[in-house]
Amino acid sequence: MSTTGFGDIDWSGTALLLIDIQEDFISGSLAVPTAEEIFPPLISLLESTSSHDAPPLTFLTQDYHPADHVSFASSHAGAKPFTTIEVPHPSLADKTMEQVLWPDHCVQSTSGADIDARILGALEGRGNVVQKGTQKNVDCYSGFASNDYVSFTDLARRLFSSQPAPGMAPVHTVVVAGLATGYCVRATAIDACKYHLRTIVLTDCIRGTDAASTEQAMRDMEQFGAEFAETTTLASTLSRR
Ligand SMILES: [Zn+2]
């Protein structure tokens, strides 16, 4: 099998979803240990799209929390990061929902929330930022919706627009990359599958916080119908429609 150049990729009808490639997840308070490994292949891929006749519609999700967010251990007296608690359901009275607690991360207007400059540079301004997790009382792993599926970002509306950008065909396929595999990549890819988008996860451009959540996420995404490719096999994977 030949490893086709990125120039051979037919991006028509395909959107790139770049999940939470932000400072706190790379080198900050909630750093994914091997996050740096996604950059060489992902930057090469993104740079190749800049010279493409029809570059993919590209979205960058941005975890963007208020300082007292429900997912922060510091918001709950005596609670420790990386534990799970029940929190009041944001919209259903007398119900609760499970919440994993994290160190404070991606706080609004802090540098930890910034999307990585190398990614933005490679995109040359072509990315559309989708902020999530902006409400204090509910977390948001998926780029499409809050964890209680009451609030939705505008990602689905943008993807399903009859003309998502001037001259651009409707989207039928998404290619997913970013951080972290076990949480926001998983939730976004599964939601994309539920929307009946062909969903291709770029395995050399995702990394997880830990082996257990990563392995479980790979099984879950496959079960929902996601496909897997590396950047070097993306062209051949996309051509198998
Ligand atoms: Zn978060």
Looking at the DSSP assignment, which residues form a beta bridge with residue 97?
A: 87
- The mean pLDDT value for 47-72 works out to 93
Would you say residue 4 has pLDDT above 70?
Answer: no
Active site residue 104: no
Domains of the chain: 6-68+109-239 (3.40.50.850)
Give residue 1's pLDDT: 40
Distance in Å, CA 201 to ligand 1 centroid: 21
Q: How far is the CA of 143 from the centre of ligand 1 (A)?
A: 11
Active site residue 95: no
Q: What is the pLDDT of residues 147-191, one digit of tens each?
A: 999 999 999 999 998 777 777 888 999 999 999 999 999 999 999
- As a whole number of angstroms, the distance between CA 139 and CA 148 comes to 8
Ion ligand 1 neighbours, Cβ < 5 Å: 63, 133
Report CA(224)–ligand 1 centroid distance (Å).
23
- In the set 106, 140, 184, 205, the catalytic residue is 184
Number of neighbours of residue 199 by Cβ within 10 angstroms: 24
The string of pLDDT tens digits covering residues 31-53 is 999 999 999 999 999 999 988 88
**Between vectors from CA 115 to CA 112 and to CA 120, what angle results, nearest 5°?**
150
Phi-psi region of 62 (alpha: psi -120 to 50; beta: other; left: phi over 0): beta
Measured in Å, residue 182 CA sits from the centre of ligand 1 at 13
Q: What is the pLDDT of residues 181-212, one digit of tens each?
A: 999 999 999 999 999 999 999 999 999 999 99
Asked if 184 is an active-site residue, the reply is yes
Question: Could you say which of 20, 24, 116, 191 is catalytic?
Answer: 20
